[in-house]
């Protein structure tokens, strides 16, 4: 059975969301405290964007802008590509590859479920590949492997 995004990879995730009026510095501090690379930007309960550490580094720091006066709205990726909770890790990884991103919001209709990182997806796909190899080895050699 193919793994799904929910519940296999994210289940009950505590999503980091900020309003678009938050400053780049406040957003960076939140990301540092939570040890995360991106936050969802939510206004009036609706996903309006995503802001990553790369957005802050490239669009604020590298340009010498004041992170206290730049808002998330100024630097976020508006209307981000999303994926549904029934998608597979392979589908999510392909979506990230197509948009050249590292984080992908998971939504069901208007409801935000969580955020996938490329690291989450690589781990899931590596585990699947390892299980496939063990299954094939077991078939070929007639030996059973235990995980």
pLDDT of residue 62: 98
What number is the average pLDDT over the span 102-121? 92
Evaluate if residue 1 carries a pLDDT over 80.
Answer: no
**Which of the four pLDDT bands, split at 50, 70 and 90, describes residue 68?**
very high
pLDDT of 145 reads 58
The rounded distance, in Å, linking the Cα atoms of 92 and 76 is: 20
Q: Looking at residue 130, what is its pLDDT?
A: 80
Residues with Cβ < 8 Å from 37, sequence gap 6 or more?
31, 52, 53, 102, 103, 117
Q: Determine phi and psi for 112, rounding to 5 degrees.
A: -80, 125
**Domain annotation for the chain: domains and CATH numbers:** 17-141 (3.10.580.10)
Q: pTM of this prediction?
A: 0.83
At 2 the pLDDT is: 66
Q: Please tell me the predicted confidence (pLDDT) of residue 146.
A: 57
CA–CA distances in Å: residue 84 to residues 2, 78, 89, 119: 15, 18, 11, 18
The predicted model gives 111-125 an average pLDDT of 88
- Please compute the mean of the pLDDT values over residues 27-49 and round it to a whole number: 97
137-143 average pLDDT score: 78
Answer whether residue 147 shows pLDDT above 60. Answer: no
């Amino acid at each position: 059975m193919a793994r799904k995004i929910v519940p296999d990879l994210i289940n009950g995730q505590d999503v980091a969301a900020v309003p678009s009026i938050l400053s780049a510095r406040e957003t960076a501090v939140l990301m540092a405290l939570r040890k995360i690379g991106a936050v969802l930007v939510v206004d009036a309960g609706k996903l309006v964007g995503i802001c990553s550490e790369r957005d802050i580094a490239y669009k604020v720091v590298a340009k010498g802008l004041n992170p206290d006066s730049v808002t998330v709205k100024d630097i976020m990726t508006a209307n981000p590509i999303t994926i549904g909770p029934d998608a597979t890790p392979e589908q999510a990884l392909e979506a990230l590859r197509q948009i050249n991103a590292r984080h992908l919001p998971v939504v069901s209709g208007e409801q935000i479920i969580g955020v996938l990182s490329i690291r989450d997806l690589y781990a899931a796909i590596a585990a699947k590949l390892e299980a496939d190899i063990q299954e094939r080895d077991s078939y070929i050699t007639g030996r059973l492997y235990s995980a």
